[in-house]
Chain A
């Protein structure tokens, strides 16, 4: 796989405080790579370092094999879409989109043609003569995208471009943005704190926390095989219970959590019998029955939340462990009330190495 952008040991320090890294990331040709993490995790700093708006304290940045670490933004060959779009309020849409071409001394008729083609592609034909304040948030977002793409950069950078839109529009724009990205085939780095956005749009996700990379992988990877407690907590809904490995054969292990013995697949190494581990269960991977079941674990329903299409249950084991479980809203599950005794079957659980203190 061809690497378009490579971050080698990139770090950013402010005095004695390390804001980022060192991190190593390879961005492959044509992929959409998402930097995902809570605020302050270093994802925006990373993006600004790629764009040249922040100078790294350490490390090297290679774009298409060329060292661009010391290069100022105008010479970097990147397209950046800001969180607030940063459209020029005193310029028309055509002037905004054509700005980068004009800076590159493209001939005027070519600019007009390329601006029109790009506006068509983002689904905004005919807005050339309008001003940014005359457009809606979603339209402005598309103009910002057009302005970044029209210069045909080696890489497109998106800094939380959907966070200023209302919930409904945000969902639509996710698909639209992804579609444009794939149609153009442009290598993209996307920053977000929204896990749904990351999952729906990305080829790969870089999960970041406190200036470091927790895990890099496909959305499925992150969801199914979180390597750390942070990854398991941040990605999706999960119940995490501390326990100990009691049996192991390859990556098939049995984890003892209180009085329960639950089969799980080990993620990561050091999962020999006796080792401490965290048992991760996903709410959709627990099955409940009211009927007693010898092969299942007895549980008490301590909470029940009706959501319409789903019902959420909080289960408590005899030893006080809690598990969250989500069942479809059908009669057999509706009958289960808070206080009911149920049997729970665990499927596809994971054993994650406990953080070493």
Chain B
């Protein structure tokens, strides 16, 4: 007996999707909607929030110099980290896509390996390296470059370097896939038509890896903008990003409405970036 697969495919798909749908609904859509709502409520030290609608939280975020500074720091760090991982990641991905298969496996493992240790472990690793009694400072003193240890922790450059290290795989993989998906005959074709290697790269390889670049950049930008652990451990009180602020407002100061507003702003910006990403990639093919 054969059954028409179409007649039951709708119900079948719904059955398959319902567990994950419920999970997302209960633990993602519902809390986010609730938080979005709370961001329009008034703060109350006694009851967490009062259910009266207001735009105060948002006006405070956008006009209070303290919060404006945090927002600026967050997106500045996210932009710098994205650009730095793009430069380093593209070179690495290009190399990986050209190297022989035996080497590719080993190098690929080295790129993925950091992902297998937690972000906290890796961040503590940076503290060991960069602390005033860390490896880098000892080396600097021993080599006579400086007399006393330099402050490396709690500075923005350190947070950026650590984030670049953590985010690199997220940039390398999308670009690598875009590069290996290219027809290997295109560059030789360009060269027989008179394009020198640099020109062939700019005319063919680079534009065709754009989906990978956009995807990797969107991933790194959103992940960096939402980073908490790395800036908290390596930036301390001197480098504060939106993620730490949300954490503090919600769990330390219990100002849920303001924390919710910071979270809403962050999510909005991330959605914007992802939206731009989808637009860009759809235009390619």
B285 close to A78 (CB less than 8 A): no
A53 close to B284 (CB less than 8 A): no
A74 close to B196 (CB less than 8 A): yes
- Within 42-66 of B, Cβ neighbours of A (below 8 Å) are at none
Give chain A residues whose Cβ lies under 8 Å from the Cβ of B208. Answer: 89-90
Whether A99 touches B185, Cβ cut-off 8 Å, given contacts A74-B195, A89-B208, A90-B284, is no
Answer yes or no: A279 CB below 8 A from chain B CBs: no
Answer yes or no: A133 CB below 8 A from chain B CBs: yes
Give chain A residues whose Cβ lies under 8 Å from the Cβ of B190. Answer: 88, 99
Total interface residues on A, CB under 8 Å, equals 24
Answer yes or no: A248 CB below 8 A from chain B CBs: no
A86 close to B188 (CB less than 8 A): yes
A51 close to B195 (CB less than 8 A): no
Answer yes or no: B204 CB below 8 A from chain A CBs: yes
| Cβ-closest chain B residue relative to A105 | B194
Give chain B residues whose Cβ lies under 8 Å from the Cβ of A317. Answer: none
- Within 240-276 of B, Cβ neighbours of A (below 8 Å) are at none
Answer yes or no: A262 CB below 8 A from chain B CBs: no
A86 close to B194 (CB less than 8 A): no
Answer yes or no: A265 CB below 8 A from chain B CBs: no
Contacting A80 at CB < 8 Å: which of B186, B189, B195, B285? Answer: B189
Determine the distance from Cα of A72 to Cα of B195 in the docked complex, in whole angstroms: 10
Whether A74 touches B191, Cβ cut-off 8 Å, given contacts A84-B183, A90-B284, A133-B285, is yes
A84 close to B192 (CB less than 8 A): no
B172-197, CB under 8 A of A: which get 1 and which 0? 00000000000101101111111110
B192 close to A52 (CB less than 8 A): yes
B13-47, CB under 8 A of A: which get 1 and which 0? 00000000000000000000000000000000000
Total interface residues on B, CB under 8 Å, equals 19
Determine the distance from Cα of A133 to Cα of B203 in the docked complex, in whole angstroms: 18
Answer yes or no: B207 CB below 8 A from chain A CBs: yes
| Cβ-closest chain B residue relative to A78 | B192
Whether A147 touches B285, Cβ cut-off 8 Å, given contacts A53-B188, A84-B185, is no
B210 CB to closest chain A CB (Å) equals 8
A93 CB to closest chain B CB (Å) equals 15
Give chain A residues whose Cβ lies under 8 Å from the Cβ of B183. Answer: 84, 86, 89
Determine the distance from Cα of A90 to Cα of B186 in the docked complex, in whole angstroms: 11
B101 CB to closest chain A CB (Å) equals 17
Instruction: List 26 contacting pairs A-B, 8 Å CB cutoff, sorted by A.
Output: A51-B188, A51-B192, A52-B192, A53-B188, A53-B192, A72-B196, A73-B192, A74-B191, A74-B192, A74-B193, A74-B196, A80-B188, A80-B189, A82-B185, A84-B183, A86-B185, A86-B186, A86-B188, A89-B208, A89-B285, A90-B208, A90-B284, A99-B195, A103-B194, A148-B193, A151-B194
